[in-house]
Amino acid sequence: MNTTAPAGIFPLAGKTVSRLGFGTMRLTGPGTWGDPFDRPQAISVLRQAVYTHGITHIDTADAYGPHTVEELIHDALHPYPEDVLIATKVGMLRPAPNVWTPHGHPSYLRAAVEASLRRLRLDRLDLCYLHRIDPEVPLEDQLAVMQALQSEGKIGHIGLSKVTPKNILDASALVTIAAVQNVLNMTDHADPALEICWNMRIPYVPYRPLDAGTLAHAHGVAEPLRWLLNLGGHIAPIPSTSRPQHLQQIVAAVRGEV
């Protein structure tokens, strides 16, 4: 395994991981639905991320597929290296391709965590995000079940995804928030949650850092990723790709090799 962490090291959910993470949303079929067209390549990309490039922060969700990517991660990486952090997300229904429906009923969140543990073959999810806050369910009820699962040892740390500063403040009054995951890139660059996270010392994990490839085509890979990393030491981006060549470009960019 290449032990040189891309973009340096980063404290997240009780571990020290590579500051550059790997987002796995692209490892499905079209519409974030079903199996990837080339399953062996998806397995290979995951293995290359960890064992060739030294990426130790792997981000996923039960909604990717749904369930597909958690199964791929298991097949590619289990038993997991001790220094690898597998972060997943729960709280989203997938009734069809490209359709995403928040569902934060406590019994569903509990069942989703249990199912992720089985698919990933883990005893504990080191970092589990509430994928979306369900506006139909009180926030305190959604976080109460996450906290209960944490007390039971099934969740290590709790994160939030696609949230506002008020969401972060409200949630932080109830539980300890270990990470926030929002869209941030050179196009979508005005997220007020960024400053809140800095002030509260919460790691900020930007997804879509290359704006689904648009910014890479316009500026190359290096400029958008370096722009993000320079915004603050609390930022740990998770670019996603299904292609080994693109993964190599991403890692080279943050290491200053291109």
User: Could you give the percent of the chain with pLDDT greater than 90?
Assistant: 91
Beta carbons of 240 and 22 less than 8 angstroms apart: yes
| Mean pLDDT, range 51-55, rounded to an integer | 97
Kind and range of the H or E run holding 177: strand 177-183
Catalytic (active site) residue 64: yes
Domains and CATH numbers, the chain: 9-254 (3.20.20.100)
| Mean pLDDT, range 199-214, rounded to an integer | 93
Question: What is the pLDDT at residue 3?
Answer: 53
Long-range (24+ apart) CB contacts under 8 A made by 171-174 are 171/139, 171/143, 172/200, 174/139, 174/140, 174/143, 174/144, 174/147
| Mean pLDDT, range 116-128, rounded to an integer | 98
Model confidence band, residue 258 (pLDDT cutoffs 50, 70, 90): low
Question: For residue 210, which amino acid is it?
Answer: L
Question: What is the pLDDT at residue 35?
Answer: 96
pTM here?
A: 0.96
What is the C-alpha to C-alpha distance for residues 1 and 80, in angstroms, rounded to an integer? 12
Each residue of 5-41: pLDDT tens digit? 999 999 999 999 999 999 999 999 999 999 999 999 9
Examine the pLDDT at 2 and tell me if it is beyond 60: no
Question: For residue 85, which amino acid is it?
Answer: L
Beta carbons of 3 and 54 less than 8 angstroms apart: yes
What is the C-alpha to C-alpha distance for residues 110 and 77, in angstroms, rounded to an integer? 25
* Closest to 174 (Cα-Cα) out of 196, 153, 202, 146: 146
* Closest to 84 (Cα-Cα) out of 135, 50, 45, 36: 50
Catalytic-labelled residue, pool 51, 64, 80, 129: 64
Count the Cβ atoms, other than its own, within 10 Å of residue 77. Answer: 19
| Mean pLDDT, range 47-60, rounded to an integer | 98
Each residue of 78-104: pLDDT tens digit? 999 999 999 999 999 999 999 999 999
Residues belonging to the chain: 258
Question: What is the pLDDT at residue 217?
Answer: 81
Q: Picking from 43-52, 65-74, 135-144, 212-221, which range would have the lowest pLDDT averaged per residue?
A: 212-221
Each residue of 163-197: pLDDT tens digit? 999 999 999 999 999 999 999 999 988 999 999 99
What is the C-alpha to C-alpha distance for residues 83 and 242, in angstroms, rounded to an integer? 23
Provide φ and ψ at 34, rounded to 5°.
Answer: 75, -170
Question: What is the pLDDT at residue 1?
Answer: 46
228: its two tokens = 């993000």
| Mean pLDDT, range 132-160, rounded to an integer | 98
What is the C-alpha to C-alpha distance for residues 245 and 79, in angstroms, rounded to an integer? 25
| Mean pLDDT, range 56-85, rounded to an integer | 98
